[in-house]
Structure 1
Amino acid sequence: MKNQLLLAIALIVTTSISAQFYVSASGGYAIPSAGVLMGQELNADRTEAKNHYGSFGEGLNTQLKGGYFFNDTFGVELAFAYLHGSDQVRDSYLMEEGVITEVTDAKAYGRAFGLSASLVYNFNEKVYGRFGAITKLGGRTGAELTRENATPFGPIVTEGKLDFHGRPPLGFIAALGHKFKLNDNFHLFAELEYLGINVTRDNSEFTELTINAPAVPANALGAGHPGIPAATWNLGDAPLNHPVYGTLYAPTKTTYEDELSTSNTDPSKTLSETVPYSSFGINFGITYTFGKKGE
């Protein structure tokens, strides 16, 4: 019993001596880990289409971290991160009876704040690994589009900007890194990081919207019809349904639901969809380790 007590005390003392707090800052760039179809782009004369794959997790990121090592091998880490996502091609087109009736040129990008909690394991004095969970604290997916809808009187041109907001997700994060010692307190590091996370959309909203509709000549809709002049509408004053052109745009705000009746007629509600934020990245940074307890 006495020997066991002495062993326990020795273990506590050893752990206490080697326990360390640290903080670090890093920056890096990430590429899609498993790109999904983002858009279909037409060439200049609209005779060929090209698929574009990607992830909203692609782009520049920065991280601020704080951690605690219980001993020379095991530790825990909490990190706050910001992603400035790269543009993703979101072009699309609609073809009816062999004729292209709608073409959308669009780009979208992610902006996200994240929080992760990880376990850290030192393989040796230079190589370490970490893995844990990550969630999104805030941010949005922004999109900018120009859409042309063909009509017998000329195209209807819609230009708009949208913000998409998602539900709080939960994902997986893992990294393998190498440390370069500068002195007892400072280390430089480089690491490869994997991020596996998807975001389910919650709502979207137009922040800017302009619609230009062509004029309808007199008598074009029948004998004696006075015609309709060209019109331009902005956000908030465009009619959802036009007497000649029909539906001009999606509702100003759309909510995404997991379940909807098949008889739903509310255009402001649609089934939810998931967008990818998964990525592979490389980060470079610096770590400051506070003095060991007992020093």
Structure 2
Amino acid sequence: MESVWLGIDVGGTNVVMALGDGDGNAFVKKRIPTLAADGPARVLKRIIDAVETMLEETGTSFSRLGGIGLGVPGLVDAERGVVRLAVNLNWRQVAVSEVFRSHFGVPVRVDNDVRSAALGEYQFGAGKGFRHFLCLTLGTGIGSGMFLDGRLYAGATGSAGEIGHMVVEREGFPCTCGNRGCLETIASGPSLVRFVRERITEGVPTSLDNGEPLTVERIGSAFDVQDALAQEAIRRAGKYLGFALANAVHLLNVERVIIGGGVSLLGDRLFGFVRSEFQRCVLKGVGDGVDIVPAALGDEAGVMGALALARQAAGLPLDSPATA
């Protein structure tokens, strides 16, 4: 009987999991809240319980499970399957791989969530056919994964890609990492909301000050009706992001930048400012021809990449379908 593969994308707000077939096609998905404040042990137990429910509901036996892949935010030692530090989850030295391997008895591979998303885009999305690209996710935090010369690059200690903690405003807002003015304090979802809320407190007039919950989606809708504060917030985030990407391209010389995550759903409202500032800052000859595009897989890039990680865990190659 053909094996199935389990991909799990752990986010600061939600956990998305999917069962996939031998070609990497997800045939069932499930989403649960992360509830990170409960601590890593309870979060992992909740994920395992949800996986067991999903297997039961689909009539899939444990014996068909060929491998598990997990994308987790933060600094991940992929070789040991340990999350060394995930500031948005408040995890330190969490042996994620061992927890799942001991429970399910199958090969497990854990990597940074954005490297997982980059892998998903490489296999199935906007990175397909490109050997050099940078993939960002803009959500609760900001991270990036990169393919260099056709290989997923993790760095000397698995820490490559922490673009969210690139300091872009030296005396800026405090970040969860302990520094100030990180890109994550300006262009992440919570930071956009915080900026608007602070400006409302300062007395800036806006249609967003109507008592309804403040979200990135609402800020985008207000942008569409020419709300000045919404436009200021998105313009500010886009400009700092474009500036950071110009610096990243100077260093990495990639041919494409892919942007996903919830904030990317602002679409051209955000991308217009990103591309304009990128072109203003990037060195001519280095930035020529660099596309900045939305993630083709949307917010499914992470879980699709986790499915690819599951196949890697079992020793299967990236570029060909798994076999039974």
TM range (shorter): under 0.3
Structure with the greater relative contact order (CA < 8 A, sep ≥ 6): 1 or 2?
2
* Rg larger for: 1
TM-score computed with the length of structure 2 as normaliser: 0.21
Q: Which has the higher helix share?
A: 2
